[in-house]
C-alpha cells in the first residue's frame, strides 16, 4: 500500500486570539490583524524561532520546551501590540516612582515591567495548579484515613483530577467576562479560518463560517495533554514531603511539556484511536474557550491568515501599521519556508 502523502497545507499555520483580533504565524511570517474604528489594521513581522537558529533547540522534547517559552513571550507581546493598534492607552498618569523608573530604564521599562508581570503570573499559576491540588489531595487523604497516600498512582490521579477541575473552573468562570467572551469568539474565528485553509476552500468569511471551531492543535488541547501526562509522570514519585514533591514537579515540567508538544505535533497529522482518546478532553474544552464568531470577526482572522501564509498558498502582503504615525505603511515581511507550527496556537 502506497504511503499517503501529507497535505502541504496541514500544520503550517497556527494562531492566537488577541484583543479585538487574531494573530497568525506560518514559519517566520507573523501577521496580527485587529479590528479598529477605522477598519482592520495589520502588523506584519518576521519572527525567527531558536529552533531554526540552533540545531539543539530542534531536538525532540527540547523543541517543545523552546516553543512553549517562545509562545509565552509572543502571546504577551501580541496582546500588548493589539491594544496599541486599537489606540488603547494602558498608561495612567505617571507617579514620581514611575518617572524615576522611566529615567533609569528608558526604552527598557516596558520589557522589565512585562517580565515582572510574567514572573508574577507564573508564581500565581504554580500556586494555583501545583500547590493547591497537592494540599487538597492531602486533605482528602487525611479524611480517608491515609488510605490514598498508600498508593502513589491513586494519589497522583486524585491530585491530577483536582488540577484539571481547577483549570476547567477557571476557564469557565472567566468566560462570563464580556472581553474574554469576545476573545473566545475571535479564538473560534481563528480555528475556523485555519480549518478553511487546510480544507483548501476559498478564504472567505462565508466558507470559514461552515468550518469547525474545534482544532486538535489548539493550545487548550495542549494544556489538557500536559495535565494528563503529568498524572502519569507524577505517579512514579512516592514522595510524602510536600516541598520535595513540589520540587519534583518543577523539575519534570520541561519533560512533560516536551512530550506534550510531541504528541500534539503527532496528533495534528494522524487520526487514530490513541490520538482521538487523548485529544478528546481538549476538544471538549474548546466548547468553552471558543465561541461562534460573526462574519466581521472571521474577516479579521482571514486577513491575518492571508498575510501569514506563503504566496504559493494564496498569501498576500498588505500595508503595515506604524505605531509612531498611527498610519498604514508598506513594510513587507520576508517570505520564508513554512515550518510545522503544531503548537503555535496560543490561548
Spatial contact of 215 and 286, defined as CB atoms under 8 Å apart: yes
Span 88-116, pLDDT tens digits:
654 555 555 555 555 555 555 555 555 66
Half-sphere CA count of 329, side-chain side, radius 13 A = 9
What DSSP string runs through 185-227? HHHHHHHHHHHHHHTT----HHHHHTS-S--TTSHHHHHHHHH
Please tell me the pTM assigned to this model.
Answer: 0.78
pLDDT at 94: 53
Q: Residue 158: pLDDT above 60? A: yes
pLDDT band at 220 (very low <50, low <70, confident <90, very high): confident
Nearest to residue 339, comparing CAs of 31, 48, 23, 45? 48
Measured between alpha carbons, how far is 327 from 268 in angstroms, rounded to an integer? Answer: 38
Residue range 38-94, pLDDT digits in tens: 888 888 888 888 888 889 988 998 998 998 888 888 888 888 888 888 776 545 555
Rounded to whole angstroms, how far apart are CA atoms 197 and 291? 19
Amino acid at each position: 500500500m502506497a504511503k499517503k502523502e501529507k497535505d502541504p497545507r496541514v500544520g503550517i499555520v497556527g494562531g492566537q486570539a488577541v484583543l479585538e483580533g487574531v494573530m497568525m504565524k506560518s514559519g517566520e511570517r507573523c501577521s496580527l490583524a485587529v479590528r479598529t474604528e477605522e477598519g482592520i489594521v495589520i502588523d506584519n513581522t518576521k519572527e525567527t524561532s531558536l529552533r531554526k537558529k540552533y540545531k539543539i533547540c530542534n531536538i525532540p522534547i527540547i523543541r517543545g520546551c523552546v516553543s512553549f517559552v517562545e509562545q509565552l513571550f509572543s502571546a504577551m507581546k501580541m496582546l500588548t501590540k493589539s491594544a496599541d493598534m486599537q489606540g488603547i492607552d494602558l498608561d495612567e498618569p505617571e507617579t514620581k516612582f514611575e518617572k524615576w523608573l522611566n529615567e533609569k530604564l528608558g526604552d527598557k521599562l516596558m520589557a522589565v515591567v512585562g517580565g515582572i508581570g510574567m514572573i508574577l503570573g507564573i508564581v500565581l499559576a504554580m500556586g494555583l495548579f501545583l500547590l493547591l491540588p497537592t494540599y487538597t489531595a492531602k486533605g482528602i487523604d487525611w479524611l480517608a484515613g491515609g488510605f490514598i497516600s498508600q498508593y502513589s498512582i491513586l494519589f497522583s490521579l486524585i491530585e491530577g483530577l483536582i488540577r484539571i477541575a481547577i483549570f476547567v473552573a477557571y476557564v469557565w468562570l472567566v468566560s462570563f467576562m464580556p472581553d474574554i467572551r469576545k476573545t473566545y469568539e475571535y479564538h473560534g474565528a481563528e480555528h475556523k479560518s485555519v480549518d478553511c485553509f487546510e480544507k483548501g476552500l476559498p478564504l472567505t468569511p462565508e466558507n470559514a463560517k461552515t468550518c469547525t471551531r474545534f482544532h486538535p492543535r489548539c493550545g487548550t488541547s495542549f494544556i489538557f495533554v500536559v495535565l494528563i501526562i503529568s498524572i502519569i509522570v507524577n505517579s512514579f514519585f512516592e514522595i510524602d514531603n510536600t516541598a520535595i514533591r513540589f520540587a519534583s514537579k518543577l523539575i519534570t515540567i520541561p519533560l512533560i511539556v516536551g512530550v506534550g508538544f510531541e504528541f500534539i505535533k503527532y496528533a495534528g497529522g494522524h487520526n487514530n484511536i490513541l490520538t482521538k482518546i487523548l485529544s478528546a478532553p481538549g476538544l471538549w474544552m474548546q466548547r468553552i474557550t471558543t465561541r461562534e464568531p460573526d462574519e466581521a470577526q472571521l474577516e479579521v482572522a482571514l486577513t491575518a491568515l492571508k498575510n501569514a501564509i506563503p504566496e504559493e498558498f494564496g498569501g498576500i502582503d498588505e500595508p503595515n501599521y506604524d505605531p509612531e504615525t498611527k498610519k498604514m505603511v508598506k513594510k513587507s515581511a520576508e517570505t520564508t519556508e513554512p515550518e510545522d507550527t503544531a503548537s503555535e496556537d496560543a490561548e
